[in-house]
C-alpha cells in the first residue's frame, strides 16, 4: 500500500484486519468490537498502523490525540511514523496538570469527563484524533470540545469502526461539530461477516464480565 487512495474500508486489507476483530454483545450493546484480536496478530496490527499512517502522510496537521484508552495503543505508532507529537485525552482523575472538559454520557451507563495535558494543543494547532470505536460519539465530542477550547481544530476523527446504528453523526450535528469528519478504517458489514462468523475464531464460552469499565 503506497497511497491513501488504494485503501478501501471493505477491501482486501480491511478484511484481513477484520478477521481478527470479532464482535460480541456487551453491556446492552449488540455489537462490541474488540481490537485485542489484531493486537495479538502482528501482521494485522502492522496493517492497521500502516493504513492510518498512509491516510495522513500527506495531510498537514500538528499533533495526534489518542482517546482513553485504546487510542493510546493505535495513536503512538502512527505518531512515530509521521514524526508528530502524541498526547493522551484521559478520563477524569488519571492525569495531573490537565484541563478538564465537561461531562459526557458513556455508551454503556453513567457519565465521565476527559482531560487534556496543559500545553498539548496551542492556538491554531490542527489535531488528528484516534480511537478504536465510535459508538454514541459522547467521548469524541468531549475530546473535540477540549481541543477547540485550547484554540485548536480537529482535522478528522479516525477509528477502527463506527457503530452507525447509534447515530453518532446526528449527535455531532447537535453538538455543533459537524465540521469534523469521522473516518472508520473498516466497514461494519465486513466485521460482521469476517469476525463473528469466521469459524476460525471461537465464540463459545463467551461471558460478559459485567464489571464496570
- Over residues 136-172, the pLDDT tens digits come to 788 999 999 999 999 999 999 999 988 776 777 788 7
Give me the pLDDT at residue 51, please.
96
Cβ density class 45-57: b for 16+ within 10 Å, e for less: bebbbbbbbbbbe
Give me the pLDDT at residue 107, please.
59
Give me the pLDDT at residue 26, please.
62
Give me the pLDDT at residue 167, please.
75
Give me the pLDDT at residue 116, please.
96
Give me the pLDDT at residue 19, please.
84
To the question of pTM greater than 0.75 for the whole model, the response is yes
Least Cα distance to 159 among 190, 181, 127 occurs for 181
Give me the pLDDT at residue 136, please.
79
- Is there a contact between 126 and 50 (Cβ–Cβ < 8 Å)? no
pLDDT string in tens for the chain (213-residue length): 544 447 999 999 999 988 888 776 666 666 667 788 888 999 999 999 999 999 999 999 999 999 998 999 999 999 999 999 999 999 988 899 999 887 777 655 678 889 999 999 999 999 999 999 887 788 999 999 999 999 999 999 999 988 776 777 788 778 889 899 999 999 888 876 444 455 555 555 545 554 544
Burial class (CB in 10 A: 0-12, 13-18, 19+), 118: exposed
Strand partners, 156: 128
Q: Which residues contact 192 (CB under 8 A, 6 or more apart)?
A: 23, 31
Q: Apex CA 69: angle with CA 110 and CA 76, to 5°?
A: 155
User: What domains are defined for the chain?
Assistant: 7-196 (3.40.50.2020)
Catalytic residues: 70, 107
Instruction: Report how far apart, in Å, the C-alpha atoms of 11 and of each of 32, 147, 187 are.
Output: 22, 33, 9
Amino acid at each position: 500500500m503506497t497511497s491513501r487512495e488504494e485503501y478501501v474500508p471493505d477491501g482486501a486489507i480491511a478484511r484481513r484486519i477484520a478477521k481478527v476483530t470479532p464482535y460480541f454483545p456487551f453491556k446492552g450493546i449488540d455489537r462490541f468490537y474488540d481490537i485485542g484480536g489484531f493486537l495479538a496478530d502482528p501482521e494485522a496490527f502492522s496493517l492497521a498502523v500502516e493504513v492510518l499512517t498512509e491516510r495522513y502522510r500527506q495531510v498537514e496537521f500538528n499533533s495526534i490525540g489518542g482517546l482513553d484508552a485504546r487510542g493510546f495503543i493505535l495513536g503512538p505508532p502512527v505518531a512515530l511514523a509521521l514524526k508528530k507529537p502524541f498526547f493522551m485525552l484521559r478520563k477524569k482523575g488519571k492525569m495531573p496538570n490537565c484541563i478538564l472538559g465537561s461531562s459526557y454520557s458513556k455508551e454503556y451507563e453513567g457519565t465521565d469527563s476527559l482531560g487534556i495535558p496543559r500545553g498539548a494543543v496551542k492556538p491554531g494547532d490542527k489535531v488528528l484524533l484516534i480511537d478504536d470505536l465510535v459508538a454514541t460519539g459522547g467521548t469524541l465530542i468531549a475530546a473535540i470540545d477540549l481541543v477547540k477550547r485550547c484554540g485548536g481544530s480537529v482535522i478528522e476523527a479516525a477509528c477502527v469502526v463506527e457503530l452507525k446504528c447509534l447515530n453518532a453523526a446526528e449527535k455531532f450535528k447537535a453538538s455543533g461539530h459537524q465540521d469534523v469528519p469521522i473516518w472508520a478504517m473498516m466497514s461494519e458489514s465486513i466485521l460482521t461477516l469476517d469476525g463473528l462468523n469466521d469459524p476460525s475464531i471461537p465464540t463459545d464460552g463467551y461471558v460478559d464480565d459485567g464489571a464496570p469499565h
